[in-house]
Structure 1
Amino acid sequence: TLELTGQAIDFLRGIFNMFDTDNDDALLPAELDDLFSTAPENPWSNNPYVDCAERNVLGGLSLEGFLSKWALMTLLDPANSFANLIYVGYSGDFGSAFTTMRKRRVDRKKQQTQRNVFQCYVFGPRGAGKTALLQSFLGRQPSDALPMNGERFAANTVELSGSRKTLVFREIPEDDVRPLLADRESLAPCDVAVFVYDSCDEFSWQRTRDLLVEVATHGENTGYEVPCLIVAAKDDLDQSPLALQESTRVSQDMGIEMPIPISVRLRDLNNIFCRIVHAAQQPHLSIPETEAGKTRRQYRQLLNRSLMVVSVGAAVAVVGIAAYRVYAARKNTSS
C-alpha cells in the first residue's frame, strides 16, 4: 500500500491555496475545475470520488476534504494519483511522492502500525444504517446521499491523541459480500471492519452476525484477519431486547468489543470514528475468533505441548544414554 509523502502533501497544500482565489478556505467546483485544467479531465468527476468528501453549503471542498480525496485516489489508484500530481505541476519523481507502507500482516505480528491512512470496510444488511454512518462522517444527513450502484466511499480526517489520521470508509452492499470474499486477498487492503445492524430489528442482527462470522472465517482461512467492531445503529428507537442480548453474547464469545450504540438522527455517535481509528492502530487486537478458529488454535497448542514433551523426553533419553556410556567406560577402565 502507498501513501502520500510529506513532500507531496505540502505541494498539494500549496496548490489548494493557489486556486482558492476567494480565500474562503474551500475550493468551489469552478476553482477545482481550474486546478485540474491542465489534466485530461477532473479525476474526481465520477464515482467513487464525486461524493466521498465533506463539502460546505456552496459545494466547496475544504483542505481536509481535498487531501482526503487525494488520499483515497492514492489508495485505490496510485498510478492515477501520481499522473494527476504531475498534471497539476508536481516536479518530483514517484519515489518522492509516495511512501510504501509495511504489509498489514507484518503490522499485526509486530503489534503496531505506522500508517496514516486507514481503510474501514463497512458490512451490514440493507436498512441497517451503513450509508447513514458514512454520511454522518461527512457531516451530512442520510437523505443527502446520492444514489449509487455498488460500493460507496467516504474519506475524512480524524484527530486522535493529538495527531490526524485519514479514515476511508468502504461500504460493502449486502449482495456484494459473497463475491468479495471469493477473492482470497479481498481483506488484504482492510485495516478494520465495522458491522452495522439495526438495533430495533432482531433479523437485522442475525444477518449481521452471519456476515461477521463469514468475514472472520475468511480471515482465519487466508491469514488476513482484521480488527472488527459491531455498531448498534438507531439507538434512539425502541431496541430489540433479544438483539441486544445476542449481540453482547456473540461479541464476548468472539473476543471483540461490546456493540457500540449510535444514533445518527440524534447525532449521538459515541465517538465511533475515533474508536474505529484506535482499533486500526492496534492491528493485533479486536480480531474475532470463530468456533472453528478456536478449535484449530487449541489443537495447535496441544500439538505444540505434545511436541515439547516428546522433545524433552528425547533429550532426557539422550542424556541418560550418554551418562550410562560414561559410567560404563569408567567402570571398564577401573577394572
Structure 2
Amino acid sequence: MLVQNKSSEGVNERGLTLTGFLLLHALFIEEGPIQTTWTTLRRFGYNDDMKLDDDFIPRLKRAPDQSVELTNQALVFLVKIFDEFDGDSDKVLQPRELEDLFSTAMESHWIENPYKDAVEKNAHGGLSLDAFLSQKSGRLLWIVLSLNLKSILRIKDASVLHNWALMTLLNPTFSVENLKYMGYPGDPSSAIRVTRRRHVDRKKQHSERNVLQCFIFGPMKAGKSALLNSFIGRPYSEVYNPTSEDRYAVNVVDISRENKKYLVLREISEDGVTKLLANRESLASCDIAVFVHDRSDESSWSASSELLLNIAAHGENTGFQVPCLIVAAKDDQDSFTMAIQGANMVSQDTRVEAPVPISVQLGDPNNIFHRIVTAAEHPHLNIPKTEVGNGLMNRSLMFVSVGVAAVTAVGWVLAYFQGRMRSVKNKGFVNGS
C-alpha cells in the first residue's frame, strides 16, 4: 500500500515491480529501517563497499598451464541478455546499449584496453552480434535455448564469445563478477570451467580447449599488427603505428562444420619480450607461438629467427614448450633470397612447419588462422628442437649472422661494381667509344 501510494508503477497485478522494489528501498534508506536494505544486499553477495564479496566468487585452483572458459550455462545467459539490451533489434549493441548492459556493474570494461580494440565493430562503434557472439554458432544457441539444461550441457561449446571469452581467459574472477552484476541466475561456479593442463594435452596429443591463445612475436615493421587487424576485419593501412604494449585480437575460426574454435591473438611488443623471458611461467598460458618476419627485409628475418630460438630455449628450460609457426609476411613485395633460405634452414633444424607466406595487403592470409588453430590443437607437433648440445641452434644462428654479413658484403661489392660501370660509361669506355 505504501509503494502504491507513492507510485502507480510500483505495483501491478503480479505484485511489486522493479520500480516499486527500488522505491521501497529508497524509503528504507531515507526513513528506516536501513538494515533491511543491507540485509537484502548481503543476501545477494554484496559487502560494505557495495561490491561482490570475495567469498561469493569461486576461488579457482589451477596450475599455470591451465586456462578458464565460460560454460554453456553462461553462454545461454549471455545470448539472452544480448537480445534484451538490443533495444532496436538490429543485432548490434550500440555504445549506449553497451553502457546500459553494464549499468549494474561497477564500470563498463569494454571501453578500455585490452577489450576496446580486440573485436570488430561497426562504423558507429557498435558491437555486433558477430563480435558479442559467433553468428554461426549463435544460431545453434538459439536452438539450445529451447532445450532443457541436460541437453545444453551435452552440446560442446554451442557458441563462442568474443570479448567475454577474452575477459574470462585473462581474468576469470572479473568475468564472473560481471556476470553476477548483470543478473546471472546460477551459482557463480557454474559459469566457468578449468581446462586440462597443457602438458597433459601434449601427452595425449590433442587439445580440447575451446579458447586458444596465440602469442605473436616479431621485430618492428614485420607485419604483426596488420595480421591482427586482418583477423578482426579491419582494412590494411600503410601507416605504421608502433605497438608499445601487448595487444589482443579475438575471433572465431571454423575448422569444420562441427569444430569452431575461439582464437585469441596476443601481439607481444618488443619490450614485452624482455619481460616475458624474465618470467619463468610466461609461456604457460600460450597454446601456440607465431613468429612473423618481413620476407623482403633481411634484418627482419634475422631478428625474428633469433626470437624463435630464444623463446624455444625458454620453453625448453622452463618446461612450458609450445608449438611454433613461422610466418613470412609481405609476400606481395620482392623477397629477400637469404631470408627465404634462412627461414627454411631454421624450420628444418628446429623441426617446425615450413614458413607460411602471407600478404595482408593483398588480402591473402594463406589460411594462416586455420593453420594456427590446427597446430594448437595438436600441441605435440611443431615444438622446436633446439638441441643446443648437438649444435642445431648454433648452426641456425650462425647462418643468420653469417647470412646477414654475407649479404652486406655482396651488396657492397655490387654497389662498387655498379659505381665502376657508371664511371666507365661516363668516360666513354662503353660501346667501343
* TM-score (norm. length: structure 1): 0.85
Post-superposition CA distance 1:8-35 (Å, at most 9, x none): 0111111111111122212111111111
Correspondence list, 1:53-64, <5 A: 53-64=119-130
SS in 1 for 2:213: strand
Q: Does 1:101 align with 2:167?
A: no
| Correspondence for 2:106 among 19, 28, 40 | 40
Residue 165 of structure 1 corresponds to which residue in structure 2?
261
Residue 306 of structure 1 corresponds to which residue in structure 2?
none
SS in 1 for 2:293: strand
Instruction: Give distance in 2, aligned partners of 1:24 and 1:145.
Output: 35
Residue 213 of structure 1 corresponds to which residue in structure 2?
309
The residue type equivalent to 2:126 in the other structure is G
Q: Does 1:245 align with 2:365?
A: no
In the alignment, is the contact (CA less than 8 A) between 2:221 and 2:240 conserved in 1?
no
Q: In structure 2, do the counterparts of structure 1 residues 271 and 253 end up closer, same or farther at CA, with 3 Å as the change threshold? A: same
Residue 129 of structure 1 corresponds to which residue in structure 2?
223
Post-superposition CA distance 1:224-280 (Å, at most 9, x none): 110100000000011101101110111011101111011011100000001100011
Q: Which has the larger radius of gyration?
A: 2
- Across the two proteins, how many residue pairs are aligned to each other? 296
Instruction: Give distance in 1, aligned partners of 2:391 and 2:344.
Output: 22
In the alignment, is the contact (CA less than 8 A) between 2:292 and 2:327 conserved in 1?
yes
| Correspondence for 1:261 among 349, 357, 377 | 357
Instruction: Give distance in 2, aligned partners of 1:21 and 1:294.
Output: 64
Q: Does 1:110 align with 2:204?
A: yes
Q: In structure 2, do the counterparts of structure 1 residues 290 and 111 end up closer, same or farther at CA, with 3 Å as the change threshold? A: same
Instruction: Give distance in 1, aligned partners of 2:295 and 2:364.
Output: 15
Q: In structure 2, do the counterparts of structure 1 residues 202 and 85 end up closer, same or farther at CA, with 3 Å as the change threshold? A: same
In the alignment, is the contact (CA less than 8 A) between 1:220 and 1:293 conserved in 2?
no
Over the matched positions of the two proteins, sequence identity in percent amounts to: 57
Which segments of 5 or more consecutive residues in structure 2 lack a partner in the other structure? 1-66, 133-160, 393-433
Q: Structure 1 runs of 4+ off > 4 angstroms?
A: 144-148, 293-296
In the alignment, is the contact (CA less than 8 A) between 2:164 and 2:175 conserved in 1?
yes
Post-superposition CA distance 1:57-89 (Å, at most 9, x none): 232212242221000000111111001001111
The residue type equivalent to 1:191 in the other structure is D
In the alignment, is the contact (CA less than 8 A) between 1:52 and 1:154 conserved in 2?
yes
Instruction: Give distance in 1, aligned partners of 2:287 and 2:120.
Output: 22
Correspondence list, 1:297-312, <5 A: none
Correspondence list, 1:1-335, <5 A: 1-66=67-132, 67-143=161-237, 149-162=244-257, 163-292=259-388
The residue type equivalent to 1:156 in the other structure is N
1:147 CA displacement:
7.6
Instruction: Give distance in 2, aligned partners of 1:277 and 1:88.
Output: 32
* TM-score (norm. length: structure 2): 0.66
Q: In structure 2, do the counterparts of structure 1 residues 8 and 131 end up closer, same or farther at CA, with 3 Å as the change threshold? A: same
Q: In structure 2, do the counterparts of structure 1 residues 233 and 295 end up closer, same or farther at CA, with 3 Å as the change threshold? A: closer
Moved more, 17-26 or 82-91: 17-26
Residue 305 of structure 1 corresponds to which residue in structure 2?
none
Residue 326 of structure 1 corresponds to which residue in structure 2?
none
Instruction: Give distance in 2, aligned partners of 1:23 and 1:145.
Output: 38
Moved more, 184-193 or 159-168: 159-168
In the alignment, is the contact (CA less than 8 A) between 2:243 and 2:269 conserved in 1?
no
SS in 1 for 2:248: strand
The residue type equivalent to 1:231 in the other structure is V
Instruction: Give distance in 2, aligned partners of 1:31 and 1:273.
Output: 31
SS in 2 for 1:157: strand
In the alignment, is the contact (CA less than 8 A) between 2:213 and 2:266 conserved in 1?
yes
SS in 1 for 2:162: helix
Which segments of 5 or more consecutive residues in structure 1 lack a partner in the other structure? 297-335
RMSD across aligned positions (CA): 1.7
The residue type equivalent to 2:216 in the other structure is V
Instruction: Give distance in 1, aligned partners of 2:360 and 2:389.
Output: 34
Post-superposition CA distance 1:159-190 (Å, at most 9, x none): 11222211001100123212211111100000
Instruction: Give distance in 2, aligned partners of 1:293 and 1:282.
Output: 27
In the alignment, is the contact (CA less than 8 A) between 2:180 and 2:188 conserved in 1?
no
Relative contact order higher in (CA < 8 Å, ≥ 6 apart): 1
1:293 CA displacement:
6.7
Moved more, 163-172 or 58-67: 58-67
The residue type equivalent to 1:155 in the other structure is V
1:119 CA displacement:
0.3
In the alignment, is the contact (CA less than 8 A) between 1:123 and 1:196 conserved in 2?
yes
SS in 1 for 2:305: helix
SS in 2 for 1:200: coil
Moved more, 189-198 or 43-52: 43-52
Instruction: Give distance in 1, aligned partners of 2:280 and 2:314.
Output: 8
Instruction: Give distance in 2, aligned partners of 1:148 and 1:33.
Output: 28
In the alignment, is the contact (CA less than 8 A) between 1:197 and 1:204 conserved in 2?
yes
